Structure 1
């Protein structure tokens, strides 16, 4: 075999007690499109930071064309080897395409000043060389996502790099744009460019890649030619369970078919999702699953008053749900644990007690006056119910651990006795004990007859659901009743028909 273009062996990376990567391995040959897949937390992003020279591994080696990787401080040498095009743009939106292509290395004319004429000429040459049909004078902010990505790829190639990492490049593209991106990738491959393609949509791996590497639980699992790996086997490698050997998971008790419908939505549509029909009964937990660009979070946030859909209707216990108004949604009976506990969930200058009771002050006193004793008693009760480890209601919430801070957010969501509880990644970034405590609160809310809608990337959260709806590119594509198997759910999330 020829010398690999890129080879990573035995890569390990730790952040304090967290093992981000225990055994990362990757071998990419020149001229191929190589897929890197794995569920969230599998170690993909960590491996990419090592491959692009943003961080040094704690253990292991990286080589390019058989030569050791450059020193981390030699950024120019790294730029000549590898570049990463991320979901979020790294171009400067207010600058032109030409200015972005040559940022920090503008051609100079007489007297050391920038030669704008040469800048435009050289930019046009770069774009022409790589067949990128974009006006060098266009403002980058005005470009379509797919054209902006091609400008980033052209910029990387102009440094001399022939190995490009595409991190979720299709997340913001529609089907026609995805097809155009793939056509361009194939043309660039023929010109000698090599891609590492990271995607949650396994369908795309089969369309555009020749080889696939699977990471799971921070370890390398397998590398195989795409043509020789059936989809069921790929999903199996990612899920970590053999389809044949899976034991039936214990199904939940059925929701009472006579339970009242608490939330009912018809045809909900926005920039992020389309034509969503949804019902949640009292005492039912419905999960929303999907990859990062699926629209699941925006849909859940709409019910909590954070967004206003452009079409469709939603009713809570027969009354129109007020969109785009968090306070009105709270008054209507919606409690919410938002996705960002730091930015949306907590007021860090306030105490545990203030944060936990913020949503129910009108119940704790009259005419705007809140009885201190009542408030303290109510806060103590919530702290006790959620097993929040704190010195008491007067402790600043900023002193708490991540798990206990999240419990305060959950306490506030439950304080108003909501009819609908919306939980968005409720256990993200918390330890195992706190996770169990938060999930048991979800269970008891269900037992109290609350309707619960939970969005999560964690399979353990979704296992507590009576059914899970899967969104893909903004539409509901599958519904799994309780008792689903990991590989079935992952196949739906990744957009693969797992019978194929």
Structure 2
């Protein structure tokens, strides 16, 4: 008897978006009954591969097959649903309708007059959930379900179409320890019933807890596929990082003296389901990194410091001032400059000029009684353009007309315009070219050398290299403090929640 064909297989996949190569001759093979992990750093190509393997987009080149047969046409959604389903980190359950309606949306039983036979819909829903051991009342509005219950309902819905191959995209990101344990038990039970999983996670320890096989992508290419049991943790981290223990630039400035004044003091910050008991200090002239994978809480903590969020409890003290929680004006008044995660939606107003964007945080410097002195505004803008080497014919050009790197420099100019005591940056070099990245990081170092405290939240290793120390967050908690001089293996392992000595 011949060997069964793979449940799913992608071969020679190439996908390019404009000048960005998202996948380059990538491949993966997933066999019956496996829980197969797909891991890689941000930008490795994982999300693009999943979108191709679930029929959301077509590859430029390459093939996808299920059970040895070519994938359906992209337009045949019903055929795709019988072969593969994806349970995303962000739930696709509709909160306003019941569990039963979610399970059989667009498939509701109707009688001769076209009326929905609700008793039949509920019966089929109960049968479906009982078959897959999901203990949920089908009459409940879906908004009343826990995150864990929503995931189980989504898995059951996927199985109801006939699919026996399910992609779990960051399924544990919003779950606590007990819920993760129950999820893993359910995965193992379903595995015994012939269901195959592709498991995507930023927490490498989970790969060792639940998966049989792991595939690593790096820089848009397949790097490694191996049995989890036979792969030491250090080798898995090396595959993800390219075995580059000390690549890239290192911060060149001297760290501040140990007696430097504390500019930012964060005390026991807690926000339900996001982060718990986070405490740290950033001294004047110090650059402190806040690192962690997606869902670790690093971004949310930084946003709380600058007033974009309000914690349930805990304190944020900036140079002796305690701004009202959730107040951006309050933090600006306390002396905070901020570079947000998404410059397109949070960082600038695209059709306003460089001059207007760069001075948004300093209206009092532009004139009195609500009037703007154009010459003052232009002078400040020209100074920022020179200081940050913004390539533009003049300060009146709309920011939308600049390249990505120059747009980010405008965002940095706005953050520095009020001579901040504290500069908070979230992924400050995301989506910019190499030269702009180097320039921006040098500007951060220069700002710190002038006595400004810097909090830099990122998962990009090049960003974190300039830090005097890095606080690592995993699942909402600070789990490690890594001093200056770390190597890639050490920091990535900490961010992924992996003990290299295990």
* TM-score interval, smaller chain: over 0.9
Q: Distance in 1 between matches of 2:7 and 2:23?
A: 22
Q: Distance in 2 between matches of 1:303 and 1:61?
A: 47
The answer for the alignment partner of 1:472 in structure 2 is: 474
**Alignment check: 8 A CA contact 2:270 2:278 kept:** yes
Within a 5 Å distance, the mapping from 1:198-237 to structure 2 comes to: 198-237=200-239
Q: Distance in 1 between matches of 2:232 and 2:105?
A: 44
Within a 5 Å distance, the mapping from 1:231-246 to structure 2 comes to: 231-241=233-243
Q: Distance in 1 between matches of 2:140 and 2:453?
A: 50
Find out whether 1:259 has 2:232 as its counterpart: no
The answer for the alignment partner of 1:337 in structure 2 is: 339
Q: Distance in 1 between matches of 2:120 and 2:278?
A: 52
How much has 1:262 moved relative to structure 2? 1.1
Distance 1:344 1:103, change over 3 A: same
The answer for the alignment partner of 1:94 in structure 2 is: 96
How much has 1:112 moved relative to structure 2? 3.0
Among candidates 105, 121, 126, match of residue 107 of structure 2: 105
How much has 1:433 moved relative to structure 2? 1.9
Find out whether 1:306 has 2:285 as its counterpart: no
**Alignment check: 8 A CA contact 1:303 1:321 kept:** no
Q: Distance in 1 between matches of 2:490 and 2:25?
A: 27
Q: Distance in 1 between matches of 2:165 and 2:341?
A: 35
Deviates more, 1:15-24 or 1:400-409: 400-409
**Alignment check: 8 A CA contact 1:251 1:483 kept:** no
**Alignment check: 8 A CA contact 1:7 1:28 kept:** yes
Among candidates 45, 51, 54, match of residue 52 of structure 1: 54
**Alignment check: 8 A CA contact 2:250 2:465 kept:** no
How much has 1:363 moved relative to structure 2? 1.9
Q: Distance in 2 between matches of 1:449 and 1:355?
A: 25
**Alignment check: 8 A CA contact 1:11 1:58 kept:** yes
1:270-324: CA deviations, max 9, x gaps? 2222222211111111111001111111111111111222222232222324421
**Alignment check: 8 A CA contact 1:93 1:141 kept:** yes
Deviates more, 1:447-456 or 1:161-170: 447-456
The answer for the alignment partner of 1:439 in structure 2 is: 441
How much has 1:469 moved relative to structure 2? 0.6
Q: Distance in 2 between matches of 1:352 and 1:239?
A: 37
How much has 1:206 moved relative to structure 2? 0.8
**Alignment check: 8 A CA contact 2:165 2:197 kept:** yes
Find out whether 1:396 has 2:407 as its counterpart: no
Distance 1:16 1:324, change over 3 A: same
Q: Mind listing any 5+ residue stretches in structure 1 that lack a counterpart? A: none
Any idea what SS the aligned residue of 2:159 has? Answer: helix
Distance 1:419 1:249, change over 3 A: closer
Q: Distance in 1 between matches of 2:199 and 2:86?
A: 10
Distance 1:362 1:247, change over 3 A: closer
Q: Distance in 2 between matches of 1:207 and 1:153?
A: 20
**Alignment check: 8 A CA contact 1:249 1:483 kept:** no
* TM-score normalised according to structure 1 size: 0.97
Q: Distance in 1 between matches of 2:250 and 2:166?
A: 44
1:388-423: CA deviations, max 9, x gaps? 122212112222222221111110000000000000
The answer for the alignment partner of 1:153 in structure 2 is: 155
**Alignment check: 8 A CA contact 2:255 2:285 kept:** no
1:242-294: CA deviations, max 9, x gaps? 66xx6898675333223222112222222222222211111111111001111
Deviates more, 1:45-54 or 1:391-400: 391-400
Q: Distance in 2 between matches of 1:274 and 1:124?
A: 37
Q: Distance in 2 between matches of 1:199 and 1:427?
A: 23
Q: Distance in 2 between matches of 1:247 and 1:419?
A: 31
Deviates more, 1:347-356 or 1:82-91: 347-356
1:16-36: CA deviations, max 9, x gaps? 110001122111111111111
How much has 1:367 moved relative to structure 2? 3.1
Deviates more, 1:113-122 or 1:332-341: 113-122
1:30-65: CA deviations, max 9, x gaps? 111111111111110011011101111111111111
**Alignment check: 8 A CA contact 1:268 1:276 kept:** yes
Q: Distance in 2 between matches of 1:321 and 1:91?
A: 37
Q: Distance in 2 between matches of 1:416 and 1:399?
A: 25
**Alignment check: 8 A CA contact 2:355 2:381 kept:** yes
Distance 1:247 1:404, change over 3 A: closer
Q: Distance in 2 between matches of 1:459 and 1:169?
A: 25
**Alignment check: 8 A CA contact 2:129 2:136 kept:** yes
Q: Distance in 2 between matches of 1:254 and 1:364?
A: 35
How much has 1:370 moved relative to structure 2? 2.5
The answer for the alignment partner of 2:296 in structure 1 is: 294
The answer for the alignment partner of 1:196 in structure 2 is: 198
**Alignment check: 8 A CA contact 2:72 2:80 kept:** yes
Q: Distance in 2 between matches of 1:113 and 1:368?
A: 62
